[in-house]
Structure 1
Amino acid sequence: MRLPNDYLERVYAGVLGKLIGVYLGRPFEGWTYQKIMDELGPIEYYVHERLNQPLVVTDDDVAGTFTFIRALEDYGIKPNLSAEEIGKAWLNYIVEERSILWWGGNGNSTEHTAWLNLKKGVPAPHSGSIATNGQGVAEQIGAQIFIDGWAMVAPGQPELAARLAEQAGKVSHDGESVHAAMLWAAMEAEAFVASDIDHLIDTGLKMIPSDSQIAKMIKDVRAWHKAHPDWRDTRQKIQDNYGYDRYPGNCHIMPNHALMIMTVLYAPHDFQKAQMIVNTSGWDTDCNAGNVGCLLGIMNGLESIAEGPDFRGPIADRMLISSADGGNSINDAVRQAYFLTNLGLKLAGQQSLAAPKNGAQFHFSLPGSQQGFRPLTGLDAASGVRVGNTEFEGSRALTIEYEALGPAQSAIVTTPTFSPREMLDMRTYDLMATPLLYSGQTVKARVKGDAQNHGAIEARLRVRVYDGRDQLSDIDGQTVAVQPGSEAVLEWTLPDTGGQPIAEIGIVVTGTGRRADGKLLVDYLRWDGTPKLTLKRPAGDGDFWRMAWVNGASFFSKRFKAAFRIAQNRGEGMIIHGTRQWTDYQASGDVMIHLGNYGGLAIRAQGLRRYYGARVTRDGKMQIVKVRDEDTKVLAETAFKMEFDKHIAMKVSAQGPRITFEADGVSVTAEDTSADALHDGGVGLLIHEGALSSNEIRIGGV
């Protein structure tokens, strides 16, 4: 398979198009056309501020799209990935009633219904079938809204994209909903190699039954498009013939798919106009606009997004992916574009792209990329600071432009490394996240002063940390002088933050004379090393220290005396902290089991159903187990007398294939050299049908 020469950039444009569409449509999701026209008028640009909402929010369209695609990574990068395997990924990454899905209740929310089936042991595709859930539930919109990733890993391969989308869709949906998903995925895949919209639609139609309702509806919309130059007339025809009143449920696939087809017919090469049409038309605006945005981004590239108003600047690549793998939650479009492109290359039998700039987390390698970096405002922050992107040494770099800097004011730019404060104002979807960056790790950033700079400047690294009142406090690294045309590497080992999460990292630029004007280029910013920290309840009555744990337990409250007390009503519950960057490390602390069949620590946790467990059991055993999906394999065990309400000094370490567990002086060791061994992931506390507590968990090297 010959891949497009600009495959990576087209994926990046598709991811950005998806984000822009979702964030445009999210504030008025579910509104009718008439309500939008009465209260907002045509949607020409973001309206979140008019409705007093954040712009970058948690949303099922984003979280599901960029989480479920990880089944390829987890179960083998192969064209025959099955619905059953994707369903297993649902159970690993979805936190019940807290992440990704609309938790509207059994029989109300199609995805919630399917998740309950999976949890009961009904595998996909039966979990989402009409036979299991009925036609009304199975044919809502959800199969379509999550499909963009499957298309982006199959460029120019519409059959493969349609097949993957079909398997993914059947986890939760059936019938016309799956037909719509297959058709749109095929269109997006074909958009990598063709730009005629009628050809794309015909390509999609080849993937579904010709007598399907989706196919009939598309025939009608095409005819209306030819008959009516004004899209508003076609929109009225859709409302009259395919409106919500004609279908069961609250968000059926047929009306929304009709609006998407209408939009790309009227504005196939005008990103801004397409977003105006699909959002102004109403109904499931974030879903429809996200799919349309992804398709047009892939087909027309980054330039098409830039032809209208500045859609990219306010987003600055930011993305929130709420899931049980909390280290993946604070994300950006550049990181996702590389991830999807490498999956696509491997599917095509080709070699992955090398990690830019030796694996730096922030490398700014794609045109216009900012990876979340934005100017700060405040008492010591200069106004008029601009963040951009420019060519630099054969790649690209972030630019920080400043004017009239003196010692009293600074140009400050930061990017999120944990949940932003505005998450407290988000509605509907929780954000399950853990920080990306930790005490004990070493941060490096290479910077260069532009040769045309006027006046000398100093630069330093800064982290912003939540305090005891959930306000952000600043901690700065050492200041380094940066002369015009010279470069420097800012380096800093992050200090102990007292158990509080690091929310942002950035760079501060300060003038050293009366005035400095110019530009600082940031080649990369990275961090390395094993964290060294103590997770505990910090001073104050804030919440973010606790929200830095993915909560996969029935109950996790800060009101108990112990910092961490969790309870699980049915089955196994756990809370998780850390990222996939954690590889070889140890975790220790005193753990008390108040009730339960087993409890203890998890290490290298990659979700709720992929981890190594170091646990003691009610029936007198001490075990190291490997959990993968529904399988729990005991790797090592010995006798251990477990008593309720008694502190147990526990320590678990992972080094290469070796896992060691100590509890009150008793030790057991196991090695996992299997092909599916877990090599990285965070730490967890776990309990089975009972309660467990600990006052602190210490993380360090082995």
Structure 2
Amino acid sequence: MDYPQNYFKKVYSGWIGKIVGIIFGTPTEIWKKEEIAEVFCKFDNYLVNYGKYAADDDYMWGMIFQENLKALSQANLETANFAEAIMNLVPNGHGVMWWGGKDVATEHTAYINLNSGILPPESGSKTVNPDWITEQIGGEIFNDHWGLLSPLNVIEAMKLAKKMASVTHDGDAVIGAMFMSGCVALAFEDNSNITTIVEKICALLPTSPYKEMCTAIIEFNKTSKVWEENFDYIKTNYLEKDYPGVCHVIPSAAVTLIGLLCSENSFDKALEYTLRGGEDTDSNVGNAGMIMGALVGLDGIAEKWINPLNDEIICSTAMGQLNIQYISELAKRTVALSKRYFTGVKISQENSKLQWNFDNKFAKKGFKTSVGPDKIYSKKVNFCKVFEDEKFLRSYFSFLTPNDTFRTYFNSFYFANEFDDSRYDPEITPTIFSGQKISCEIRQTQADSSQQIAAQTFVETTTGEVYTSEFKITSDDWMKFEFNIPKLKDEHIYKVGIQYNFLDKDLFLLKRFVKIDIKNFEITGKPLISLDLSKTSKEVWTTRHSNPLGFSSYQYGWEITETGLTNTNDNKFNELYFGSNNSLEFDYTLEVEVNQNYHFGLSVFVRGIYDKLAFILKENTVEIVHFKNYLKSELLTKVNCTPILGNNKLRVTYVDEKISFYLNEQLLIDAFDVKDFEIETDGSFSLLDYNANSVIFKHVEIK
């Protein structure tokens, strides 16, 4: 497959466009045009200043679906594979989707179908679901990203969208998925315009009410480019019709279509017109944003939209390790997945190193700045930006006062109370750990030797403790900084970065700006984790939803007791995920208190709910089970194993591609060779339970 020269940049701008559109449209979701006009008079920037935007289903589904392509290609991808992606990363009852109930919420209905053994495409079809439930808006809003994966290959983009949408939807919702993905794919064409794109893709759609709607609107738009007149047309013909369900695809698609056709190829106008039409505004503007973002590129999207994103989005999958994402890395992954899909090129993974190389405009990768609270002189302005040609991040700090402390840093974790919304509550697990090593290079541009600024690497924990390297005085020359994060107990890493101090205690800084640059920032080494689970605190999202801090969960029901964590959910299975294995070996110890009727265990190499190696204790045995997907698992070995009632210690070691299991210091499985079982050896760790209230998980240690 021939890729456009500007392929990555357009993928990046496409993702940015979608995320901008979603956040722009969120405050008015399900409002009508008249209500929006009554409240807002300007649409040239975000309507609400979200301090931190929690998560949104419209971009999460795309990320989840594309995760499934890591091991698949054009030759072996089927609709059923997309069901595996859903079941592997979507937790049960929280996050990712609207859990509105069977035959009310389309995605929830399909999820129930999949759990009941109904395979796709039947899971989303009219054969097993009410007609109207299959034609809600999710089909088109979750599948536009296939156009990013298939640049200029419109037919393949539409095929992928059809396959994925069919897991959860049918009818016009699937046609909508094909339309949106096709428009994104064609947006990569040089010197194209949005009207031509829409017309060409509409012509390729199969006969359907959705195609009739597109054709009619295109014809009307030829008579008038005035948005208000186009809106009056769709209001009469589509918005005032009584389409069944909570959010049928056709009215929202009509709003999106006139927003595109009246935009005059302007990103800003497309967003404004699509939002002003009302209906499902976050989804509609997200669709318009991705199409227009891919069409106009980064130069066509004003920085006022991009900078507040900080190159970071939050997700709410079951895997907490995936829930802090960088948009630039998501774009790189889309490019890599495309090449994997079309050419079979294997995706390389360097598990032992995390890198922030600042190689693309706006790719801050979560880095941000902060200053102390002193406002004696002036309100402090501080920000950072990427210089992509030289691959460094520059931080600007203004009006520093004596002994000021200021920072450039990123978050390894976010607390629930840091988010301004709570629609798709993201359970986050830290991405950086004690025992790891921070390395980077720092310089102070135009340093003033008469007023010294010192720098040190730092980590801050969730309990507020700060650990730092030694200070070094910054200069115009690049200086190497290294810091070994100390071994910590019962703490999680919250923030990571560089901390600076204005050393002059008597004078205000004479410069209006201090400019400090960072490059080659990386974190290496084996994570060390030691947690007394009785000391875990609870992260509260809503009255219904909480989770143990630092862990993500399969479903509700984990409670903190005086001695540890226990599962109180009466459903058959529950699991907690934490940590990261980015090394070639580990030693995992779990202390538990076992009661009657136990059925529990732990997992390693956890890449998803049904992608892991599990050690399951039940009926006086321990089984090693390789879960390959939600329909397929393999029993690798089984030995006698009888935990005592009361306190027990489980231990799993992985060395030289061989895994061993101990119970109460007794070796039960010795150097079992896993290299022949096609097991990916990265991922997280877990605690798992199949019988509520039968086990208390007391302590975990990874080294």
After superposition, the C-alpha distances for 1:469-521 in whole angstroms (9 at most, x for unaligned) are xxx5544332222212x111221121244323222222223333443643111
1:128-181 superposed Cα distances (whole Å, 9 cap, x missing partner): 001111210000000111113322111111111111111110110000000010
Q: Which of 447, 451, 471 pairs up with 2:442?
A: 447
1:697–1:126 CA distance, 2 compared to 1 (3 A) = same
- Residue 557 of structure 1 aligns to a residue whose secondary structure is strand
TM-score, normalised by the number of residues in structure 1:
0.92
The equivalent of 1:459 in structure 2 is 455
2:298 to 295, 302, 316: 302
Answering whether residue 314 of structure 2 is matched by residue 320 of structure 1, we say yes
Residue 489 of structure 2 corresponds to: 498
Q: Tell me the number of residue pairs that the alignment of Structure 1 and Structure 2 aligns.
A: 683
Equivalent of residue 531 in structure 1, options 511, 527, 543: 527
| Aligned counterparts of 1:462 and 1:407: Cα–Cα separation in 2 | 21
Q: C-alpha separation between the residues in 2 aligned to 1:622 and 1:540?
A: 28
- Superposition pairs of residues 190-589 of structure 1, within 5 angstroms: 190-194=186-190, 195-209=192-206, 211-243=207-239, 245-306=241-302, 310-349=304-343, 360-379=354-373, 383-393=380-390, 396-405=391-400, 407-423=402-418, 425-451=420-446, 455-467=451-463, 472-484=464-476, 486-513=477-504, 514=507, 515=509, 517-537=513-533, 543=539, 546-558=548-560, 560-579=561-580, 581=582, 584-589=585-590
Cα distance, 1:116 vs structure 2: 0.2
| Alignment RMSD (CA, Å) | 2.5
Tell me which amino acid in the other structure corresponds to 2:582. Answer: Q
1:698 maps to a residue whose letter is E
Q: Which moved more, 1:234-243 or 1:36-45?
A: 36-45
Query: Secondary structure at the residue paired with 2:516?
Result: strand
Match among 90, 95, 103 for residue 91 of structure 2: 95
Change (3 A) 1:686 1:350: closer
Are residue 186 (structure 1) and residue 182 (structure 2) matched? yes
Aligned to 1:134: 130
| Alignment check: 8 A CA contact 1:356 1:365 kept | no
SS at match of 2:403: coil
* Structure 1 residue identity aligned to 2:90: I
- Which deviations, in whole Å up to 9, do the C-alpha atoms of 1:112-133 show, x marking residues without a partner? 0000000111111111001111
Q: 3-state SS of the aligned residue for 2:297?
A: helix
Secondary structure at 2:406's aligned position in 1?
Answer: strand
What does the per-residue CA deviation read over 1:636-662, in whole Å, with 9 as the maximum and x for residues that have no partner? 22112245x422210012235322111
1:68 alignment partner in structure 2: 65
User: Post-superposition shift, 1:391?
Assistant: 3.9
Distance 1:368 1:463, change over 3 A: same
| Residue number in structure 2 paired with 1:17 | 17
Aligned to 1:57: 54
Question: Is the 8 Å Cα contact of residues 614 and 625 (structure 1) preserved in structure 2?
Answer: yes
- Determine the C-alpha separation between the residues in 1 that align with 2:345 and 2:400: 46
Give distance in 1, aligned partners of 2:307 and 2:152.
30
Point out the more displaced range, 339-348 or 665-674.
665-674
Taking the aligned partners of 1:293 and 1:387, their CA distance within structure 2 comes to 25
The Cα shift of 1:239 comes to: 1.9
2:702 alignment partner, SS class: strand
In structure 1, what is the Cα distance between the partners aligned to 2:268 and 2:383? 24
Q: Aligned partners of 1:646, 1:453: CA distance in 2, in Å?
A: 64
Aligned to 2:544: none
Which position in structure 1 is the counterpart of 2:616?
A: 615
Secondary structure, in 3 states, of the residue corresponding to 1:445?
strand
The one of 668, 682, 686 aligned to 1:684: 686
Q: 1:650 to 1:350 in 2, by over 3 A?
A: closer
CA distance in 1, matches of 2:687, 2:330: 29
The 8 Å contact of residues 371 and 404 in structure 2, kept in 1 or not, is answered as no
Q: What is the match of residue 159 of structure 1?
A: 155
Q: Distance in 2 between matches of 1:204 and 1:375?
A: 44
The residue correspondences of 1:632-671 to structure 2 (distance < 5 A) are 632-643=633-644, 645-664=645-664, 665-669=666-670, 670-671=672-673
Are the counterparts in 2 of residues 30 and 282 from structure 1 also a CA contact under 8 Å?
yes
8 Å CA contact 2:538–2:549 kept in 1: the answer is: no
CA distance in 1, matches of 2:172, 2:18: 22
Show CA shifts across 1:616-669 (max 9, x none): 212x212222112222322222112245x4222100122353221111214204
- Asked if the contact 1:568/1:688 (under 8 Å) is kept, the reply is no
**Inter-partner Cα distance in structure 1 for 2:428 and 2:669:** 32
Change beyond 3 A, Cα 1:193–1:420: farther
How many Å apart are 1:264 and its aligned residue? 1.3
Q: 1:378 to 1:31 in 2, by over 3 A?
A: farther
Cα gap change, 1:477/1:33 in structure 2, threshold over 3 Å: closer, same or farther? farther
Answer yes or no: is the 8 Å Cα contact 1:93–1:607 preserved in 2: yes
Q: Secondary structure at the match of 2:60?
A: helix
Partner Cα separation in structure 2 for residue 242 and residue 289 of structure 1: 18
Which stretch has the larger CA shift, 447-456 or 435-444?
447-456
Q: Distance in 2 between matches of 1:166 and 1:541?
A: 44
Change in 2 beyond 3 A, CA 1:263/1:460: same
Opposite residue 316 of structure 1, the aligned amino acid is N
What amino acid does structure 2 have at the position aligned with 1:318?
E
Distance verdict in 2 for CA 1:176–1:150, change over 3 Å: same
Q: Using a 3 Å threshold, how does the CA distance of structure 1 residues 207 and 377 change in structure 2: closer, same or farther?
A: farther
Taking a change above 3 Å as real, the CA distance of residues 477 and 563 of structure 1, as seen in their structure-2 partners, is farther
Aligned to 2:520, what secondary structure does the other structure show? strand
- Which structure 2 residues correspond to residues 29-68 of structure 1 after superposition, within 5 A? 29-49=29-49, 54-68=51-65
Give the conservation status (yes or no) of the 8 Å contact 2:135–2:172: yes
Distance 1:380 1:674, change over 3 A: farther
Q: Classify 1:698/1:26 alpha carbon distance in 2 versus 1 (closer, same or farther; 3 Å).
A: same
Whole-Å separation in 1 of the counterparts to 2:209 and 2:324: 39
Distance, in Å, in 1 between the alignment partners of 2:301 and 2:239 is 30
Secondary structure at the counterpart of residue 148 of structure 1: coil
Q: 2: distance between equivalents of 1:550 and 1:242?
A: 42
Larger deviation, residues 19-28 vs 494-503: 494-503
Aligned counterpart, 2:700: 697
Residues in 1 aligned to 2:348 and 2:517: alpha-carbon distance in whole angstroms: 23
- Once residues 358 and 275 of structure 1 are traced to their aligned partners in structure 2, the CA distance between those partners, rounded to angstroms, is 41
How far is the alpha carbon of 1:547 from its aligned partner? 3.0
| Structure 2, unpaired ranges of 5+ | 541-546
- Report deviation, 1:254: 0.3
Q: What letter corresponds to residue 39 of structure 1 in structure 2?
A: V
C-alpha separation in 2, matches of 1:141 and 1:80: 28
SS in 2 for 1:348: helix
Q: Which amino acid is the alignment partner of residue 8 of structure 1?
A: F
Give unmatched runs, 5+ long, in structure 1: none
Aligned equivalents of 1:355, 1:552: Cα separation in 2: 26
Q: Contact between 2:527 and 2:580, CA under 8 Å: does it hold in 1?
A: no
Structure 1 residues 340, 101: CA separation in 2 closer, same or farther (over 3 Å shift)?
same
Q: Contact 1:656–1:679 at 8 Å: present in 2 too?
A: no
CA contact (8 A) 2:89 2:318 kept: yes
Identical counterparts, % of pairs: 22
The Cα shift of 1:44 comes to 2.4
Does the residue aligned with 2:439 lie in a helix, a strand or coil? Answer: strand
Q: Which moved more, 1:506-515 or 1:354-363?
A: 354-363
Code of the aligned partner of 1:9: K
